[in-house]
Structure 1
Amino acid sequence: MANVPHLKIEDLKVSIEDKEILKGVNLEVKGGEIHAIMGPNGTGKSTLSAAIMGHPNYKVTGGDVTLDNEDVLEMEVDERARKGIFLAMQYPSEISGVTNADFLRSAINARREEGDEISLMSFIREMDKQMGALEMDESFSHRYLNEGFSGGEKKRNEILQMMMLKPRLAILDEIDSGLDIDALKVVAQGVNEMRSPELGVLIITHYQRLLDHITPDFVHVMMQGRIVKSGGPELAKRLEAEGYDWIKEELGIVDETVGAEI
């Protein structure tokens, strides 16, 4: 199927301020799949998401990242977004003077061919539909982007952006952080509704509670800047019950951290 995305990461190495954080990550995410990455703090999880998206503070020192056999690392950040890579950030930025509606319509049109911009009425209908699914008040469309939003409102807004932009690869970096159980269920429902062969999802999380609502196909454990173990949903349940010590003991890992993630 031509529309099924395929992200391939091979031996990816990334440094920040001359400190190596990722030390050879290998991972493949295909359309229709949900992958969860778990691991202790400081092991490189958020570094991976930032490197895929092209954050300028993160220097790729080795390896490859491709999307549908195209070299992602050679793309500018805006080109990565136009190719369909989406990052829902742990700490979304506030932008004064730009409304949610204006931001989203501009972002949608930026991914379309010139002359094929979304009509205002089509945009409004789609935004109303997706905001309803996320139980967001209609006033959110007119508020400045994330300005004055609570943590939970920011996370819902990130999922709204994903639902409107319809990416090919969605990276959700600790999207469950700071959410109460009701908000968590709504956010998870939004992700589940988008599940399709045309979307690959990479979830970075510390907690099983999110995976109770979004069942992953694959769970990966990251330690010392590498993926050291992979399995199915049962792996996340065992981590919740037993922690990470059994993996460290199994693999002979003494110090699981590689430095603070930024």
Structure 2
Amino acid sequence: MSLEIKNLNVQIGESPILKDFSLTVPKGEVHAIMGPNGTGKSTLAKALAGHEDYEIASGEALIDGNSIVGAEPDDIARAGLFLAFQYPSEIPGVTIANFIRAALQARLPEGENLKATEYYKTLYGRMDELKMDRSFTSRAINDGFSGGEKKRCEILQMMMLDPSYVIMDETDSGLDIDALRIVAEGVNKMRGPDRGFLVITHYQRLLEYIVPDYVHVMYDGKIVKSGDKNLALELEEKGYDWVKEELAVNA
């Protein structure tokens, strides 16, 4: 069982961004994608989540063998995919507790209702794990939140929705070291044989806390190099120029 991407070509308007992009993320594994700005990392995340601005021109994206190409974002979420945003949106007037409760209710069979007592018991337990004050439940989604609070809110949603596959689109962006550790702890608690992670990041520091099974370098819309966690250390030390030089030599 896996999140499988085969020869995916994605464009914005007439501009091609992803070019025959292929990657398989099996359940139980954490894959990290690194690469310079403008190489298509966030495009990959948004296209897989069904964002309307990103047109999948060709190729396949499968969750456990079922295609999600052309599916609506809510159907993709029900299929088991969760996207943690780089820049989470503010939703004034909608509290965290009501938002997550509505998301969970939407996944239940018609006529079945979420039990409030069990819901809040689980919610508070997850908030305690993330060191979130329980007063957060009555705050509007990301409204007036700091960068760290927004990212913790994203991880709280992930933990409550219990997806099969998680894409983290530069979740470390804007976090101080303490917030980074708390977010990473939440992710590590979710690691296991029934869940796969795709972690998109610019910096190796996140991967010190969420240690990946595989690291991939993305350049010009596709993966050009793969390795283990040591590849991230090499990128941190040398930057990306040496990868570009390798590509030029092998062209």
Please say whether Structure 1 and Structure 2 have the same fold, judged by a TM-score greater than 0.5.
Answer: yes
Percent identity (aligned): 55
Q: Deviations over 1:82-114 (max 9, x none)?
A: 111100001111111110000000101111222
Residue 173 of structure 2 corresponds to which residue in structure 1? 177
1:103 aligned to which of 90, 99, 123: 99
Residue 210 of structure 2 is matched in structure 1 by 214
Residue type of the partner of 1:69? G
Q: Which residue in 1 is equivalent to 2:108?
A: 112
User: 2:45 aligns to what?
Assistant: 49
Residue 12 of structure 1: aligned partner: 8
Write the distance in 1 (CA, Å) between the matches of 2:40 and 2:70. 22
Query: The residue matched to 2:69 in structure 1 has which SS?
Result: helix
Q: How does 1:125-144 map to 2 (within 5 A)?
A: 125-144=121-140
The one of 30, 35, 46 aligned to 1:34:
30
Q: Distance in 1 between matches of 2:239 and 2:13?
A: 30
Q: Which residue of 2 is the match for residue 229 of structure 1?
A: 225
Among 191, 194, 210, the alignment partner of 1:195 is 191
Does 229-238 or 112-121 show the bigger shift?
112-121
Q: Aligned pairs, how many? A: 249
Aligned residue in 1 for 2:80? 84
1:122 aligns with 2:118: yes
Are 1:248 and 2:236 an aligned pair? no
**In structure 2, distance between residues paired with 1:184 and 1:94:** 21
Other-structure match for 2:200: 204
8 Å contact 2:28–2:191 — kept in the other structure?
yes
Deviation of 1:57 after TM superposition, in Å, equals 0.3
Alignment of 1:67 onto 2:63? yes
Return the offset for 1:225: 0.5
Shift of 1:160: 0.4
Q: Distance in 2 between matches of 1:76 and 1:182?
A: 36
Output the TM-score relative to the length of structure 2. Answer: 0.97
Q: Which runs of 4+ in 1 moved over 3 A?
A: none
Query: How far off its partner does 1:74 sit?
Result: 3.4
* Aligned mates of 2:49, 2:4 — CA distance in 1: 14
Local SS of the residue matching 2:145: coil
CA displacement 1:99-136 (0-9 Å, x = unmatched) = 00000001011112223332101110011000000001
TM-score (norm 1): 0.93
Task: Tell me which of 127, 142, 162 is aligned to 2:158.
Answer: 162
Question: Within 1, Cα distance between the matches of 2:214 and 2:245?
Answer: 22
In structure 2, the gaps of 5 or more residues are: none
Residue 232 of structure 1 aligns with an amino acid whose one-letter code is: D
Please give the secondary structure, in 2, of the residue aligned with 1:212.
Answer: helix
CA root-mean-square deviation? 1.0
